[in-house]
Structure 1
Amino acid sequence: MKRTLILVMLFLLLGGGAFWYLNEDEAQQKTTLAGADRDFAVPDIERVHKIFIAGRKGERTTLERDGKGGWLYNGQFETNMQVVQPLLDVIQQVRIQYKPPVKAVDNMVKVLATEGMKVELYDEAGENLKTYYVGGATADERGTYMIMEGADQPYVVELPAWEGNVSVRFKRFGDEWRDKILFKTPIEEIASVSVEYPKQKNQSFRVSRAGGSFKVAPFYEITPEINRPFRSGSIEAFLVNFESIGAESFRNDHVKRDSVLRQIPFCTITLVDQQQDTTTASFYPMYPDNYVTQDPKTGEYLTPSQDIFRYFVWWNDKDFMFAQHMVVQKAFWGYPSFFQDAKLLN
């Protein structure tokens, strides 16, 4: 009898321990899941090496670190960090603003299902860090709907010290992610720069590296060489401009693209770096209506004036862009600009 009582007590003790363990394990799992469904941020942003964004209308964006401190868009285009950095800020700092009331959940889930963007984050090894959906905004535009993949509970999130709908930082399309820089080559990496004015051949020239210095020569063989002394520092003053010359936007779908490219450009600039990589940009002025663009006698383009504010740009024979005159005009030098004025020499 005593032995039976001992066995019963031992069984109850073991059974109770197992019951407690299983319930404790289940409680821990629930706690873990409850925390995971609201853990949107990746505080250590250096862990994120790839970002995939899918829109509800078939848009697809892949951003990957390029190994040089920047990011690539869809595996081939350099990105505009003024667009990418705000996205990284959200990924790193996004936080829960509040858990919505139960009666609001169904509507939030519907909005996420119809308008939400799927966001997948991966580390350097290709392991998934997080996957969530970013949706619409609250009525006051100060909060954004987000839900973790596989979760039932959506949340309203925010970015610290910033008021607004954070979904706009994910909602970029195509060329909006791309770097709009036309030229960005330091002087020490330049092998040559040619500036060609097809209708003003006497203004066209080429600057090329000759040993440890540069020389300037006419672009066309028919143009006589200028034998006056150089203006001190003129070549360096010209070349330093190519450290940064940017466009305004990509316009590859512009309705005038084909008709513009059938015209003769005002200017074509070709830069070759020391690795023999070539960058080319052709500029077509956007003249106001009824503006005379060429001299009726010579056919030469009139010098861009205060009436010219922007250009169409054909960049590297593949991209159609807009550029502002006030930004790109610093590259529009003429061949005589490098030399001292003949009048001052007399």
Structure 2
Amino acid sequence: KLALVVILALSAVAAYLYFSNHTGTIKKELKDFSVKDTAQVTGIFLADNFGNKVKLDRKSESVWMVNDKYETRKDAIKLILGTIHTMEVKSPVSKASFENVITQISAKHTKVEIYMGKNKPVKTFYVGGSTKDQFGTYMMLENSSVPFVMHIPGFFGYLSTRFFTEEENWRSTALFRYNLENIEKIAVNYMEFPQESFEIEKISSKKPVVKSILTGKTIENLDTLAVLYYASKFQNINVEFYGNDLEAVRRDSIITHCKRFSVEITDIHGNKDLFTAFRKPMPEGSEDEEGNPQPFDKDRMYGLTKNGDFVLIQFFVFDEITPRFAFFEQE
């Protein structure tokens, strides 16, 4: 941070020299932001001037980790790699706005370091805010005092939001990733409708048994294909957001009073994976489109994972894995 301040403090002098002696050409090393071969990128470090930091490390061709703790979102990694590959200089910063842009970058920026297998970054640059028309983003290379307006040809917008520094926003949203042959048992418990709760056993054998958790009754006219189709849904179930920043008092109240259902997966090795869903209370006085009281959100719920993460989930995703007991009966 101190190094950046020193660089920015000298920028007034640099601006004078730059614009006084400018001949119409700019040295390549002053504007060489993009990374041509992102397949060789092994790590990315991002830090803003508010103390937020994330370290992204490639573990395999398709797996990245954030801060050595969590697998990352594949879409976020694809986006940042695509950005550093395709972004280009749109224009130098004009003489009239030069000092103002330098001041803006000093006040608010994200430092980006790109690594390719070594301890020293191959490229370091600072990402500032957007231009007034929001079609460009101010950036400056390390050891340079010349900022540029960057963009991606054909993309109309700014790029700064792609270089975010919040750990939880980088985390993979994957909740269940089970292949059918690795699932032994699924139990779904409905706290509000216990008569609909069910348990499926012997899934891995593809000769499943479905029974009511409340009565122990087994479905005799079982639709085996429906059961296997249902179990296959657990290959790709995601949460929407992490909500670990929800205040503890409110979280505890939701966990105590708003339970809706739980899903527990047991794999072929006996490992259990329990997820519990809770209704999401609406602000007091909320109404639906017809003016009726709406105490709970109709689109989203909260959830608690086996690792203790409090998350936000969507009904349309979880409706796929929370059918009623009769769903598995042959018509």
| TM-score relative to the length of structure 1 | 0.76
8 Å CA contact 1:202, 1:218 repeated in 2: no
What is the aligned counterpart of 1:325 among 310, 315, 325?
315
Aligned CA distance change for structure 1 residues 224 and 190 (closer, same or farther; 3 Å): closer
1:312 aligns with 2:302: yes
Question: 1:272, 1:214 → 2: CA distance?
Answer: 16
Q: Secondary structure at the match of 2:208?
A: strand
Q: Secondary structure at the match of 1:162?
A: coil
Residue 270 of structure 1 corresponds to which residue in structure 2?
A: 264
Q: Secondary structure at the match of 1:272?
A: strand
Residue 163 of structure 2 corresponds to which residue in structure 1?
A: 170
8 Å CA contact 1:194, 1:219 repeated in 2: no
More deviation, 233-242/80-89: 80-89
Residue 120 of structure 1 corresponds to which residue in structure 2?
A: 113
Q: How far off is 1:132 after superposition? A: 0.8
8 Å CA contact 2:34, 2:85 repeated in 1: yes
8 Å CA contact 1:286, 1:309 repeated in 2: no
8 Å CA contact 1:311, 1:324 repeated in 2: yes
Residue 229 of structure 2 corresponds to which residue in structure 1?
A: 237
Question: 2:100, 2:219 → 1: CA distance?
Answer: 77
What is the aligned counterpart of 1:190 among 183, 186, 192?
183
Aligned CA distance change for structure 1 residues 34 and 307 (closer, same or farther; 3 Å): closer
Q: How far off is 1:103 after superposition? A: 4.3
- Aligned-residue Cα RMSD (Å) equals 2.6
Question: 1:317, 1:290 → 2: CA distance?
Answer: 34
Question: 2:50, 2:270 → 1: CA distance?
Answer: 41
Residue 89 of structure 1 corresponds to which residue in structure 2?
A: 82
1:181 aligns with 2:171: no
8 Å CA contact 1:198, 1:264 repeated in 2: no
Query: Which letter maps to 2:142?
Result: E
Question: 1:198, 1:69 → 2: CA distance?
Answer: 39
Question: 2:151, 2:102 → 1: CA distance?
Answer: 18
Q: How far off is 1:210 after superposition? A: 6.1
Q: How far off is 1:232 after superposition? A: 4.1
Q: How far off is 1:236 after superposition? A: 0.9
Question: For residues 48-87 of structure 1, what are the structure 2 equivalents within 5 Å?
Answer: 48-87=41-80
Question: 2:278, 2:160 → 1: CA distance?
Answer: 36
Query: Which letter maps to 1:229?
Result: N
Query: Which letter maps to 1:263?
Result: H
Q: How far off is 1:147 after superposition? A: 1.0
Q: Secondary structure at the match of 1:37?
A: helix
Aligned CA distance change for structure 1 residues 113 and 103 (closer, same or farther; 3 Å): same
Question: 2:90, 2:43 → 1: CA distance?
Answer: 26
Residue 249 of structure 1 corresponds to which residue in structure 2?
A: 241
Question: 2:220, 2:263 → 1: CA distance?
Answer: 24
Q: Secondary structure at the match of 1:261?
A: helix
- Structure 2 gaps of 5+ residues are 1-25, 287-295
1:284 aligns with 2:263: no
Aligned CA distance change for structure 1 residues 38 and 278 (closer, same or farther; 3 Å): farther
Among the aligned pairs, what percent are the same residue? 24
Q: Secondary structure at the match of 2:202?
A: strand
- Structure 1 gaps of 5+ residues are 1-32, 292-305, 342-346
Q: Secondary structure at the match of 2:139?
A: strand
Aligned CA distance change for structure 1 residues 313 and 39 (closer, same or farther; 3 Å): same
Q: How far off is 1:310 after superposition? A: 2.0
Aligned CA distance change for structure 1 residues 325 and 210 (closer, same or farther; 3 Å): closer
More deviation, 139-148/309-318: 309-318
Question: 2:219, 2:92 → 1: CA distance?
Answer: 77
Deviations for 1:105-133, whole angstroms, at most 9, x for unmatched residues? Answer: 32222211111111011113434111110
Q: Secondary structure at the match of 2:134?
A: coil
Aligned CA distance change for structure 1 residues 168 and 308 (closer, same or farther; 3 Å): closer
Aligned CA distance change for structure 1 residues 278 and 290 (closer, same or farther; 3 Å): farther
Q: Secondary structure at the match of 1:196?
A: strand
1:134 aligns with 2:127: yes
Residue 294 of structure 1 corresponds to which residue in structure 2?
A: none
Query: Which letter maps to 2:75?
Result: Q
| TM-score relative to the length of structure 2 | 0.80
Query: Which letter maps to 1:240?
Result: S
Query: Paired residues, what number?
Result: 294
Aligned CA distance change for structure 1 residues 210 and 152 (closer, same or farther; 3 Å): closer
Q: How far off is 1:172 after superposition? A: 4.7
Question: 2:258, 2:46 → 1: CA distance?
Answer: 40
Deviations for 1:296-330, whole angstroms, at most 9, x for unmatched residues? Answer: xxxxxxxxxx9843211112241111212122111
Deviations for 1:27-53, whole angstroms, at most 9, x for unmatched residues? Answer: xxxxxx932221111110011111110
Question: 2:193, 2:203 → 1: CA distance?
Answer: 26
Q: Secondary structure at the match of 1:266?
A: strand
